[in-house]
Amino acid sequence: MAWRSAFEWLPRVRNLEIIFNTTSWGRRRVPEDISADFSLEIVTALFGTQATDTRKRLTLRSLQVMGLDLTKAAQLLCQAVDHTQLLALGLQQCKNTTAMLHALNPKTRVGGLKLRSLVLTGALRSEIFNDVLCSFDTLEYLVVRIPEKVEFRPDFKCLLPHATTLRFLYLDYAKLITRNSSERTFQIHLDTKTTFSDCVKLEQLAIRPHFAPWQLLDVLGQDIWYALKALPALRSLRFLNYAEDPDTHWPEVITLLDLPSHTTNVFTEVPKLRALSLGTAAEDPWIDGDDEFHPPYYTRGCLIDTCGREQTMALERELEDMVDYEPCSEILSLDIKPSQLLRYGYKP
């Protein structure tokens, strides 16, 4: 009752976060006893009769939901909040995120979205993801992290409506980039001609190969690099480690001394690129036997010889110094933790 009264007396509330505290479980999954019925009780307690009275719907700018089972709560939540006014939406570590997106789908609901920021972490169906993204054209920030065992293969033509607005794209899911049986050629599952080349404002990109990211460094010129070169404004690029891959140990063919040469080739292949990272997060090391190597970070540099000729070269940096060399590089340090709410693309 207290929550219902608070919303009635605070009609100008603009940012709402609904979080089931999962801190005590750390990096483990949310327990099974967080049921759909219990989540529905939480939403019902928050909004009460407001959830069914359209005249009392909350006009929010940002809505963040974390740790709930949305199977039954999604519809009620969408009734309580005017989704047409939302600028930022986060559905993080929730069960049945698909139910919430289905409730927001214009095929089933009157009124369109105009989100600038969308954060989705957890299991998700590709079809509803495609439908929702194709229904509006205002996204600037998109963060998607799908569990490894979940089949997620969206049609990335759904990015096209956002091609003139998208600035930040974080894609962490399996099989975005795969390799064939020879392990010498790679395929990025994007239509490069109709997707990346149209994203004229995309400045920051993070993608996860289904293998150790350094294995890309000696196969320049294949379709992944053509895709990246098609991005006219790309400034920061991050290859996310596939942490559960047993082959992500340090390879014999590439040593620490080789990395500057390989990364220099990346900067040469992608001429607008200013910053590069080859790791998931600063605290996640690469393992080579008993030794640990922390993911290096690089910025574009220039070598001038005695004749005045310029040559591109990669310069290794510390993570904390990257923003000084490239202000548009926060994607390099973005760390998505299951126990912490990610607030991105808006000011709470």
The neighbour count for residue 261, using CB atoms within 10 Å, is 13
Q: Which residue has the higher pLDDT, 128 or 181?
A: 128
- The residue type found at 237 is L
- The residue type found at 111 is G
Side-chain half-sphere CA neighbours of 327 within 13 A: 0
pLDDT band at 248 (very low <50, low <70, confident <90, very high): very low
Phi and psi at 14, nearest 5°, equal -120, -25
Angle at 272 between CA 179 and CA 306, to 5 degrees: 110
Q: State the pLDDT at residue 183.
A: 46
Mean pLDDT of 150-154: 73
Helices (H) and strands (E) in the chain, counts: 8, 15
Q: State the pLDDT at residue 282.
A: 44
Distance CA 139, CA 293 (A): 36
pLDDT in tens, 264-319: 888 888 888 999 987 654 445 555 555 555 667 899 998 898 888 888 999 988 88
Q: State the pLDDT at residue 244.
A: 44
Q: State the pLDDT at residue 203.
A: 95
Q: State the pLDDT at residue 184.
A: 43
Q: State the pLDDT at residue 86.
A: 92
Distance CA 187, CA 256 (A): 26
Q: Are strands 88-92 and 117-121 parallel, antiparallel or unpaired?
A: parallel
Mean pLDDT of 136-143: 94
Measured on CA atoms in the order 222, 227, 232, 234, is the torsion positive or negative? negative
Radius of gyration of the chain (CA): 22
pLDDT in tens, 50-105: 656 666 788 889 999 998 999 999 988 888 888 889 999 999 989 999 999 998 87
pLDDT in tens, 24-52: 544 445 455 578 888 888 888 888 766 56
Distance CA 59, CA 94 (A): 23
pLDDT band at 122 (very low <50, low <70, confident <90, very high): confident
Q: State the pLDDT at residue 222.
A: 58
Q: State the pLDDT at residue 253.
A: 44
- Output DSSP code: residue 260: H
Q: Which residue has the higher pLDDT, 56 or 202?
A: 202
pLDDT band at 198 (very low <50, low <70, confident <90, very high): confident
Q: What is the mean pLDDT of the chain?
A: 76
Q: What string of DSSP letters covers 290-307?
A: TEEEPPPEEEEEEEE-TT
Which residue from 69, 65, 74, 67 is spatially nearest to 28, judged by alpha carbons? 67
Instruction: Kindly state the tokens that stand for 278.
Output: 């080859």
Which residue from 117, 172, 119, 157 is spatially nearest to 140, judged by alpha carbons? 117
